[in-house]
Amino acid sequence: MSEEKSLNFIEEIIEADLSSNKCASISTRFPPEPNGYLHIGHSKAICLNFGLAAKYGGTTNLRFDDTNPVTEDTEYVESIKEDIKWLGFNWTNELYASDYFDKLYAFALELIEKDLAYVDDSSSEEIALLKGTPTEPGKPSEFRSRSIEENRTLFTEMKNGVYKDGEKVLRAKIDMAHTNMLMRDPIIYRIKHAHHHRTANKWCIYPMYDFAHGQSDSIENITHSICTLEFIPHRELYEWFIEKLNIFPSRQYEMARLNMTYTVMSKRKLLQLVNEGYVNGWDDPRMPTISGFRRKGYTPLSIRNFCEKIGVARRENMIDLSLLEFCLREDLNVTAKRVMAVLDPIKLVITNYDADKTEELIAENGPDETMGTRLIPFSNTLWIEREDFMEVPAKKWFRLAPGSVVRLKNAYIVKCESFEKNENGDISTIYCTYYPESKSGNDTSGISVKGTIHWLSAAHAATAEIRLYDRLFKVENPSAEEGDFKSFINPDSLTTISSAYIEPSLVESKLDDRFQFIRKGYFCLDKDSNPEKLVFNRTVTLKDTWGKIAD
Partner RNA sequence: UGGGUUAUUGUGUAAAGGUAGCACUACAGAUUUUGAUUCUGUCUGUCUUGGUUCGAAUCCAGGUAACCCAACCA
Active site residues: 33, 257, 267
Among 335, 440, 463, 490, binds RNA (CB under 7 A): 440
CA 264 to chain centre: 11
Q: Binding RNA by CB under 7 A: which of 71, 201, 428, 498?
A: 71
Applying CB under 7 A, the site for RNA has a residue count of 87
Cβ proximity to RNA, 419 vs 522, nearer residue = 522
Report the C-alpha gap between 33 and 61 in whole angstroms.
Answer: 14
Give the ranges where 373-460 is alpha helix by DSSP (H).
Answer: none
Find, among 448, 449, 386, 438, the residue nearest to 410 by Cα: 438
- Beta partners for 326? none
Closest approach of RNA to the CB of residue 480, in Å: 7
Using CB under 7 A as the binding rule, the residues of this chain from 98 to 127 that contact RNA are: 122-124, 127
CB of 129 to RNA, least distance (A): 8
- In the complex, the smallest distance separating the C-beta of residue 545 from RNA, rounded to whole angstroms, is 4
Site for RNA in 199-238 (CB under 7 A): 206, 208-209, 212-213, 229-234
546 binds RNA (CB under 7 A): yes
Given candidates 39, 44, 196, 399, which one binds RNA under the rule CB under 7 A? Answer: 399
Which residues, 492 to 521, sit near RNA by CB under 7 A?
516, 518-519
Task: Spell out the residues 6+ positions from residue 545 whose beta carbon is closer than 8 angstroms to its own.
Answer: none
Single out the segment in contact with RNA by CB under 7 A; choices: 181-189, 244-252, 482-490, 532-540. 181-189
407 binds RNA (CB under 7 A): yes
Of the candidate residues 42, 44, 173, 190, the single one contacting RNA (CB under 7 A) = 190
Helices (DSSP H) in 160-263: which residue ranges?
Answer: 209-219, 232-245
Shortest separation between residue 400's beta carbon and RNA, angstroms: 10
Q: How far apart are CA 549 and CA 396, in angstroms?
A: 9
Q: Does 549 bind RNA (CB under 7 A)?
A: yes
Interaction of residue 370 with RNA, rule CB under 7 A? no
Cα–Cα distance measured from residue 170 to residue 31, given in angstroms and rounded to the nearest whole number: 24
CA distances from 63 to 60, 80, 188, 199, 220 (A): 9, 11, 20, 15, 10
Phi-psi region of 410 (alpha: psi -120 to 50; beta: other; left: phi over 0): left
State which of residues 317, 358, 418, 499 lies at the interface with RNA (CB under 7 A): 317
304 in contact with RNA (CB under 7 A): no
- Decide: helix, strand or coil at residue 198: coil
In the complex, the smallest distance separating the C-beta of residue 6 from RNA, rounded to whole angstroms, is 4
Under rule CB under 7 A, residue 305 binds RNA: no
Q: Is 312 in the site for RNA (CB under 7 A)?
A: yes
Give the nearest distance from C-beta 384 to RNA in angstroms.
12
Pick 13 or 247: Cβ nearer RNA: 13
Question: Dihedrals φ, ψ of 14, to 5°?
Answer: -65, -45
Q: Does 177 bind RNA (CB under 7 A)?
A: no
CB of 207 to RNA, least distance (A): 7
Binding to RNA, residues 2-61 (CB under 7 A):
6-9, 12, 33
299 counts as binding RNA under rule CB under 7 A: no
Contact code string over 348-367 relative to RNA, x by CB under 7 A: ------------------xx
Residues 6+ apart with CB under 8 A from 132: 138, 139, 176, 177, 181, 184
Task: Select 21 or 133, whichever has its Cβ closest to RNA.
Answer: 133
Q: Which one of the spans 49-57, 86-94, 417-425, 542-550 is the region binding RNA (CB under 7 A)?
A: 542-550
Shortest distance in whole angstroms from residue 516 CB to RNA: 6
Nearest approach, Cβ of residue 169 and RNA (Å): 5
Per DSSP, the chain holds a count of helices (H) and strands (E) of: 13, 25
Work out which of 65, 185, 284, 503 binds RNA, going by CB under 7 A: 65
Based on the number of CB atoms within 10 Å of its own CB, is 513 exposed (0-12), middle (13-18) or buried (19 or more)?
middle
Give the integer Cα–Cα distance in Å for 474 and 145.
56
| Binding of residue 484 to RNA (CB under 7 A) | no
Backbone angles phi, psi at 464, to 5 degrees: -155, 155
- Does 310 engage in binding with RNA (CB under 7 A)? yes
Measured at the CA of 421, the angle between CA 420 and CA 424, to 5 degrees, comes to: 170
Note the Cα 442 to chain centre separation in Å. 46
Distance in angstroms (rounded) separating the CA atoms of residues 95 and 373: 48
User: Of 86-94, 152-160, 404-412, 491-499, which segment contacts RNA by CB under 7 A?
Assistant: 404-412
CA distance 115 to 109: 10
Q: Is 128 in the site for RNA (CB under 7 A)?
A: yes
Residues 138-167 binding RNA (CB under 7 A) are 165-166
Bin 403: left if φ > 0, else alpha if -120 < ψ < 50, else beta. Answer: left
Choice between 156 and 479, CB closer to RNA: 479
